[in-house]
Amino acid sequence: MEGLPYGQFPLYEEDGRVLTQSLAIAKYVARDTELIPADAWQRAVVESAVYTLFDYWRNVPPYYFEADPAKKEELRKKLFVETIDYYFSRISKQLSENGGYFNVKLSWGEFFLTGIVEASNRFLQIELEKQYPVVGATVVKEYIKTRGVYKLPPRIEVKNK
């Protein structure tokens, strides 16, 4: 697709420049805010949590897109019985130990978590917050409530060849 350097979303455009990949975009958008910790160790803790979420997420598309019913069932069992609990029990523990944050305060990592939880709920037809209440991203919801309405930039037109 024309306009998409790697033929896929996400894509961020600013001043005629284009940036791809969700992690790069998330960090760039958060760059001049307090959502990226100033302390190197705290930054590393947040990034570690985000990369762990990515490790979890890489298990979802193979299940979701599998066409063979027998293989899909095998992937479903592993994902629903092992993978989800493995990651979200640990993520929940980390969040619980830090007041709902990956580290000491709200960071871009909690926003990434919110996206992963919402995508998991949609693609897997589950509600992760029921089994793992702390991942319900209440810290992000509170931030958004106090921040107020955000005006989105104009839509980007993508032209197909």
Q: How far is residue 97's CA from residue 100's CA, in Å, rounded to a whole number? A: 7
Would you state the CATH architecture of domain 40-147?
Up-down Bundle (1.20)
pLDDT of 159 above 60: no
First vs last C-alpha separation in the chain: 6
* Residue 137: per-residue pLDDT: 63
Mean pLDDT of 62-71: 96
- What residues does each domain of the chain span? 40-147
Mean pLDDT of 91-112: 92
Q: 3-class SS at 12?
A: strand
Confidence of residue 1 (pLDDT cuts 50, 70, 90): low
Residues 6+ apart with CB under 8 A from 157: 3
For the segment 102-156, what is each residue's pLDDT rounded down to a tens digit? 988 999 999 999 989 999 999 999 999 999 998 886 788 787 778 776 666 665 5
Q: How far is residue 18's CA from residue 160's CA, in Å, rounded to a whole number? A: 17
Mean pLDDT of 29-46: 90
Half-sphere exposure of 95 (CA within 13 A, CB side): 26
* Cis peptide, bond prior to residue 61, ω within 30 of zero: no
* Residue 50: per-residue pLDDT: 95
